[in-house]
Amino acid sequence: MTRNAVKLGLAVLVAGGMGFGSLAPVAGAADLPKSTQDMLKKLKLDASVLKDLDQALKVPKAMLDAAKKEGQVRIGATHDPRQFRDFIRPFKERYPGVEVNYARANRYDRVIKPLIAMKSGKVIVDAIMGFGGNTFQFEKLNALVNLTDLPVYKLVPKSMKSPSGNYVGQRFLTRCFSYNTKKVKQEDLPKTWEDILSSKRWAGKNLALVNRPDYWALHLWVVKGEKWTKNYLTQMFLKLKPQLRKEGNNAAMQLLGAGEFDGLIAGTVHRTSVLQKKGTPIGLHCPGPVVPTTVSPVGVLKGGNENAARLFVNWFLSREGQLAQFHSAHYTPLYKDLQAAGLDALPGLKIDDSKRVFYREDLWRKEKAELVKHWDGLWFKRKGLKMQTVNAKISAVKRGGRRYHFQVGGKEQKVRISSSRTIVLVDGNRTGRKSVKKGMTCEITYPGHDQTAKQVACKK
């Protein structure tokens, strides 16, 4: 890991556009879309928080005309449809000639399917919000539109920008130590990541892990180094013997609130906020000196409705777009001044921004691969499992392709199929988990019964 790369990862999230405030007038309430005015009123904010909005939205007339001619923008993301309908209202008021077609999609439908389509010369989506680690695949195809000429680009915080300018951070996801507020005292919370190992409080079933080391351990790896992190994780598995959960992060956080365990690595700011509003006894705490933060990107695909998509991305990354997203989905905005104004998913969580380690998709691919290799060895060994590859006929496909059943040596086996972590191939082509059907013969690589498969390669 080079010193410059680490410095890039440790970039402090600064207030976007701080140096541009005098170049454009502050937006007046009367000039704003009615939906934006309503959002400001509900959030108890003055229109002055939308500084530089005129500058951010000053797109060329040629782009506007071309966007209206295209007539629509197709967006794939993870927002709840109800949230997205609320979030997009200001955009629709500002640009009534551009229809927004939105689809909430898992990682395969949102990312892999458009990638496969582009390889065959088709464009089925115009903008992707959240590439799930696959921006490099699109860049290999030269399939992403460069966004550096967008008016808003200058105002976006540096830590959100990719070196190529082909994608920009749409939001950041902070993941720390999550705990049950009814079962854990403040004095029991670890001040450092090392304190988790040294305290008996987190031994045994009191602590749970989800199978996503890239959410937090990757950040430790690039700061503390490979040797330190490998030793840290080994000690965590052997000394603490934590619960190893099959669930995804969101489901595990719900179980934490229900009292299944006392602490969880790792919880997210956004999900914690959502659960707290529902009365779930859950809190989030960030041990020092590393605050793991992942940048989720947005990008525009070439060959589709490029102008309409660029118009949407420009608006979305503006302070108005970020305010609208917070209003609808409660994601903390990119801009520090908006956070200071109260648009913070967890205002009670005090974070020293100089301690944030930002992970973007262009960073640490080699480190991530090495980390996952070490982690998998610890995870499977603790469970008494070992990765194996078998050839078998699929006897049943259940839960919309989330479970495949087959037999090995006369014994019934079942594997879990993850849309993000399982590679599914049919006749050599990458596809979705729904494409595998009963009766297909498949080569299945998996660590054991009822575990998540690494790869399933089938023939029709």
Q: End of a domain among 351, 380, 409?
A: 380
Residue 272: CATH number of its domain: 3.40.190.10
Q: What is the rounded average pLDDT for all residues in the chain? A: 90
Q: How far apart are CA 211 and CA 427, in angstroms?
A: 29
Phi-psi region of 401 (alpha: psi -120 to 50; beta: other; left: phi over 0): left
- Per-residue pLDDT band for 30 (boundaries 50, 70, 90) equals low
385-425 pLDDT, tens digit each: 888 999 999 999 999 999 999 999 999 999 999 887 899 99
Q: Does 14 have pLDDT greater than 70?
A: no
Q: End of a domain among 359, 394, 411?
A: 359
Q: What percent of the chain clears pLDDT 70, i.e. is strictly above it? A: 93
358-375 pLDDT, tens digit each: 888 888 989 999 999 999
User: Are 180 and 304 contained in the same domain?
Assistant: no
Q: What percent of the chain clears pLDDT 90, i.e. is strictly above it? A: 72
* Residue 366: other Cβ atoms inside 10 A: 8
Three-state secondary structure call for residue 123: coil
Number of helices and strands (H, E) in the chain?
A: 18, 19
Look at residue 248 in the predicted model and tell me its pLDDT: 87
The CA-atom distances, in angstroms, between 232 and each of 194, 269, 448 are 8, 24, 26
User: Are 135 and 13 contained in the same domain?
Assistant: yes
- Per-residue pLDDT band for 8 (boundaries 50, 70, 90) equals very low
User: Are 267 and 299 contained in the same domain?
Assistant: no
User: Are 275 and 303 contained in the same domain?
Assistant: no
User: Are 451 and 316 contained in the same domain?
Assistant: no
80-110 pLDDT, tens digit each: 899 999 999 999 999 999 999 998 888 888 9
Instruction: Please tell me the pTM assigned to this model.
Output: 0.81
User: Are 23 and 153 contained in the same domain?
Assistant: yes
Q: Which domain holds residue 322?
A: 3-170+294-359
- For residue 456, what are the contacts with CB-CB under 8 A and spacing of at least 6? 404, 415, 417, 422, 423, 424, 425, 436, 442, 443, 444, 445
User: Are 284 and 193 contained in the same domain?
Assistant: yes
Q: What is the DSSP letter of 20?
A: G
Q: Does 19 have pLDDT greater than 70?
A: no
User: Are 46 and 165 contained in the same domain?
Assistant: yes
Look at residue 29 in the predicted model and tell me its pLDDT: 56
206-252 pLDDT, tens digit each: 999 999 999 999 999 999 999 999 999 999 999 999 999 988 899 99
User: Are 9 and 136 contained in the same domain?
Assistant: yes
Q: Does 191 have pLDDT greater than 60?
A: yes
Taking residues 317-343, what's their average pLDDT?
93
User: Are 52 and 147 contained in the same domain?
Assistant: yes
Look at residue 21 in the predicted model and tell me its pLDDT: 31
Give the DSSP per-residue string, 329-344. H-PPPS-HHHHHTT--
Look at residue 367 in the predicted model and tell me its pLDDT: 95
User: For 109-192, where are the alpha helices, taking DSSP H only?
Assistant: 113-119, 135-140
Q: End of a domain among 380, 413, 445?
A: 380
Q: Does 74 have pLDDT greater than 70?
A: yes
User: Are 44 and 154 contained in the same domain?
Assistant: yes
How many structural domains is the chain composed of? 3
Look at residue 67 in the predicted model and tell me its pLDDT: 97
246-277 pLDDT, tens digit each: 888 999 999 999 999 999 999 999 899 989 99
User: Are 98 and 9 contained in the same domain?
Assistant: yes
